[in-house]
Amino acid sequence: MPPILILSGFEPFGGERLNPSWEIARRLDGEVIGGLQIKSVRVPVGCAKAARRITGAIVRYRPRAVIGLGEAGGRPAISLERIAINLADERGALAKSGDPGFAPVVRGGPDAYFSRLPLRAIIRELDRKQIPSSVSLTAGAYACNALMYAALHYLRRKPGLPVGFIHLPYEARQAGRHRNLPSMALATMEKAVRIAIAETARSAS
Q: Rounded to an integer, what distance in angstroms lies between the CA atom of residue 165 and that of residue 116?
A: 9
Query: Hey, is 197 helix, strand or coil?
Result: helix
Strand partners, 129: none
Q: Of 50 and 58, which CB lies nearer to ligand PCA in the complex structure?
A: 50
Q: Does 140 bind ligand PCA (CB under 6 A)?
A: yes
CB of 145 to ligand PCA, least distance (A): 6
Work out which of 25, 33, 71, 79 binds ligand PCA, going by CB under 6 A.
Answer: 71
The alpha helices in 12-72, defined as continuous H runs, are 20-28, 47-61
Query: Is there a catalytic annotation at residue 47?
Result: no
Please, what is the minimum distance in Å from the beta carbon of residue 62 to ligand PCA?
A: 25
Candidate residues 143, 151, 166, 197; the one interacting with ligand PCA per rule CB under 6 A: 143
Q: Which of 63, 68, 70, 118 forms a contact with ligand PCA (CB under 6 A)?
A: 70
The string of DSSP codes covering 137-187 is S---SSHHHHHHHHHHHHTTT-TTS-EEEEEE-EEGGGGGG-TTS-EE-HH
Q: Is 153 a catalytic residue?
A: no
Q: Does 13 bind ligand PCA (CB under 6 A)?
A: yes
Active site residue 144: yes
